[in-house]
Amino acid sequence: MSTPLRLGIAGLGTVGVGVVKIIRQQATLLQNRCGREITISAVSARTRDKDRGVNIGAYAWEDDPVALATRDDVDVFVELMGGSDGPAKAATEAALAAGKHVVTANKAMLAIHGQLLAGLAEANDRALRYEAAVAGGIPIIKSLGEGLAGNDITRVMGVMNGSCNYILTRMESAGLTYEEVFDEANALGYLEADPELDVGGIDAAHKLAILSALAFGTRVDFDGVEIEGIGCVKIEDIRHAADMGYRIKLLGVAQMTGRGLEQRMAPCLVPAASPLGQLEGGTNMVVVEGSDVGQIVLRGAGAGEGPTASAVMGDVCDIARGLRLPVFGQPADTLATAPRAQSATPAPYYLRMALHDKPGALAKIATVLGEAGISIHRMRQYDHTDDQAPVLIVTHKTTRAALNQALDAMDSTGVVVDAPVALRIESV
């Protein structure tokens, strides 16, 4: 009879408790599918006596996650603490060095230290698995690393932060302002303790950097991700986009071009009829385009106890079955350092601005755009408010560099009330 696979779980929050529940409730199913029993030897968390709704008294307790990671009765260290450094990184390194496999849901740690940890895992012939780190219950890591391994991936894009998608779709459905829905989401517990990780695009950018490395065979380059949050999006942008047949999403896009690797996480307009445009609430979606498979779409819960714990257990089962794969799809020492694209692929842009209501104001804006080589596809002027004229412009395809040149020049025209809002219109 096969020996049990013994886990040490560090972090007993929502996901950790979900993992404990699955192991208890699905014991027979797991043993049948993995060919061996899955057990828990020991656990660790900040507080021992907290009521978690599940009894952990049957497991050994370690105050120090590093001690947990190096226990003799632990085969797989399950890291669910979070944080890019500190105890999570120290315990993960200790586990790999001690010959333990690691399963983690920690996107920040992988986005910043992924190359280091991949090298350490492979040097010790151990698995480092992280399905739960990106898009919750969606099996995007397995899809890229295994199911699509025969494809030259051309683009990866998606909505990877459910909190932001909730805010944007709620603004549209309820006609509420960003500030009102932000407060609502925060009260419901949808946002991180530091909300800027969500609404600032940082959480989603961590995920995009991981997917980019796996898709293109490159070293993880979180610093190369261009990040813009959703704080600039107003209810009028939501309405204008809808009028034109678009919806606004915090969209991550990674693609390898002749100019280098593009990685950007920013609010964009996408066609309302597209799968991304139809995505509602806190759901995540990842779209992958490959040389032979074409475009595939994966949609599902991006967070929560059940979906994320499900992803953790998928990794645990792979280890139980003896599956060993390079961390980022190919040996860590073969991952290329991709040059960062200095300019993004040209695209149309949505511009919203308020102009001082005086003769020639609109002509000055058109001149500035023309001097930057940007042509106007369509333009709409809304009813004046006091002495201001709200204007909406959609450009033909242009580069962000040219658009930035035009935006800088607008400041000196004397006709712009506030800095214009500029959102890319992404083809999907």
Residue 333 lies in a domain: no
In a domain, 58, yes or no: yes
What is the layout of strands, in order, in the sheet containing 5-10? 60-61, 38-44, 5-10, 76-79, 101-104, 128-129
For residue range 111-124, what is the model confidence (pLDDT) as tens digits? 999 999 999 999 99
Residue 295's DSSP bridge partners are 289
Does some domain include residue 314? Answer: no
- Side-chain half-sphere exposure of 316, counting CA atoms within 13 A: 33
Nearest to 20 by CA among 1, 45, 47: 45
On whether residue 385 sits in a domain, the answer given is yes
344 or 299, greater pLDDT: 299
Which positions are annotated as active-site residues?
207
Q: What domain range includes position 178?
A: 140-300
Confidence of residue 272 (pLDDT cuts 50, 70, 90): very high
Model pLDDT, residue 403? 95
Last residue of a domain, one of 89, 106, 133: 133
What pTM does this model have?
0.94
**What's the pLDDT score for residue 381?**
83
Q: What's the confidence (pLDDT) of residue 138?
A: 96
Q: Which of 88, 117, 133 is the last residue of a domain?
A: 133
Burial of residue 9 (number of CB atoms within 10 Å: 0-12, 13-18, 19+) = buried
Mean pLDDT of the chain: 94
154 pLDDT higher than 80: yes
Q: Evaluate whether residue 354 is within a structural domain.
A: yes
Regarding whether 223 and 163 lie in a shared domain, the answer is: yes
- Amino acid type, 409: A
Q: What CATH number is given to the structural domain containing 288?
A: 3.30.360.10
In this predicted structure, what is the pLDDT of residue 385? 67
Q: Are residues 294 and 357 in the same domain?
A: no
Q: What is the mean pLDDT of residues 60-69?
A: 97
Considering the domain architecture, whether residues 25 and 85 belong to the same structural domain is answered as yes
- Res. 1: pLDDT tops 60: no
Q: Three-state SS across the chain? A: CCCCEEEEEECCCHHHHHHHHHHHHCHHHHHHHHCCCEEEEEEECCCCCCCCCCCCCCCEECCCHHHHHCCCCCCEEEECCCCCCHHHHHHHHHHHHCCCEEEECCHHHHHHHHHHHHHHHHHCCCCEECHHHCCCCCCHHHHHHHHCCCCCEEEEEEECCHHHHHHHHHHHHHCCCHHHHHHHHHHCCCCCCCCHHHHCCHHHHHHHHHHHHHHHCECCCHHHCEECCCCCCCHHHHHHHHHCCEEEEEEEEEEEECCEEEEEEEEEEEECCCCCCCCCCCEEEEEEEECCCEEEEEEEECCCHHHHHHHHHHHHHHHHCCCCCCCCCCCHHHCECCCECCCCCCECEEEEEEEECCCCHHHHHHHHHHHCCCCEEEEEECCCECCEEEEEEEECCECHHHHHHHHHHHHCCCCECCCCEEEEECCC
Is the Cβ–Cβ distance between 423 and 349 less than 8 Å? yes
Q: Give the closest residue to 74 by CA, choosing from 60, 58, 88, 57.
A: 60
pLDDT-derived band at 152, boundaries 50, 70, 90:
very high
Instruction: Specify whether 278 is located in the same domain as 150.
Output: yes
Which residues make Cβ contacts (< 8 Å) with residue 56, sequence separation at least 6?
12, 20, 43
Q: What is the pLDDT of residue 188?
A: 83
Band (190; pLDDT cuts 50, 70, 90):
confident
| Greater model confidence, 389 or 260 | 260
pLDDT above 70 as % of the chain = 99
Place of tokens 């993880």: 220
Phi, psi (deg, nearest 5) at residue 323: -75, 125
**Could you give the C-alpha distances from 333 to 144, 237, 283, in angstroms and in order?**
19, 45, 35
pLDDT score of 358 more than 60:
yes
Tell me, what CATH number does 73's domain have?
3.40.50.720
Same domain, 78 and 162: no
Beta strand 76-79 with 101-104 is parallel
Q: What is the mean pLDDT of residues 76-89?
A: 96
User: Is the pLDDT reported for residue 384 higher than 80?
Assistant: no
- The answer as to whether 176 is a domain residue is yes
Asked if 384 and 408 sit in the same domain, the reply is: yes
Give the Cα separation of 422 and 410 in Å (integer): 13
Using the 3D structure, point to which of 74, 104, 133 is the last residue of a domain: 133
User: Rounded CA gap, 31 and 35, in Å?
Assistant: 5
- Clarify whether residues 61 and 208 are in a common domain: no
pLDDT in tens, 233-254: 999 999 999 999 999 999 999 9
Number of domains in the chain: 3
Q: What is the mean predicted confidence (pLDDT) over 283-287?
A: 96
How do residues 296-324 score in pLDDT, each as one tens digit?
Answer: 999 999 888 999 999 999 999 999 999 99
| Pair (154, 292) in one structural domain | yes
Beta bridge partners of 391: 353, 381
**What is the average pLDDT across 376-396?**
86
Same domain, 172 and 57: no
Note whether 129 and 146 are same-domain residues.
Answer: no
CATH number at residue 410: 3.30.70.260
- For the segment 150-164, the average pLDDT, to the nearest whole number, is 96
276 or 187, higher pLDDT = 276
**275 in a structural domain:** yes
Q: Is residue 25 part of a domain?
A: yes
In the numeric block, the tokens 């242009």 are attached to 398
Q: Are residues 144 and 284 in the same domain?
A: yes
State whether 79 and 152 are in the same domain.
no
